[in-house]
């Protein structure tokens, strides 16, 4: 998501990015990791604020934003309605790998403890 959002008390410039990274291993398994980051700048009656956050690991993310503004991703102006569900991106990749005989790598505690 890359958008400028307007409210009666502030203007927010916000960018969110999500990556789903899959590594296919020689043993017929795959491993996965999620990366996300969010950058926002807000100016309003209280002044200017900037925020940055990032994450790397396993996550399930669902987000819905409805606001007045401009969505830079599709040039939508007016009522901006942005929905994000990380599982919508992950499921087709997982389904493809499974259909082609790959198995999700198990990374449980005991598996790591007794790994050969």
Question: How does pLDDT run across 15-58, given as a tens digit for each residue?
Answer: 999 999 999 999 999 999 999 999 999 998 889 999 999 999 99
In the 8-state DSSP scheme, what is residue 116?
-
- Which residues form the domain of 55? 2-113
- The C-alpha atoms of residue 99 and residue 21 are separated, in whole angstroms, by 18
Into how many domains does the chain fold? Answer: 1
Question: How does pLDDT run across 53-107, given as a tens digit for each residue?
Answer: 999 999 888 888 888 998 888 887 888 888 899 999 999 999 999 999 999 998 7
């Amino acid at each position: 998501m890359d958008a400028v959002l307007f409210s009666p008390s502030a203007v927010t410039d916000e960018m969110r990015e999500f990556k789903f990274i899959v590594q296919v291993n020689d043993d017929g398994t795959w491993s996965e990791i999620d990366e996300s980051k969010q950058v926002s700048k807000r100016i309003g009656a209280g002044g200017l604020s900037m925020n940055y956050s990032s994450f790397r690991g396993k996550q399930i993310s669902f987000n819905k934003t409805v606001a007045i503004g401009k969505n830079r991703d599709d040039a939508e102006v007016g009522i901006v309605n942005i929905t994000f569900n990380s599982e919508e991106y992950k499921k087709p990749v997982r389904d493809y790998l499974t259909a082609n005989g790959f198995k999700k790598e198990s990374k449980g505690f005991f598996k790591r403890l007794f790994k050969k």
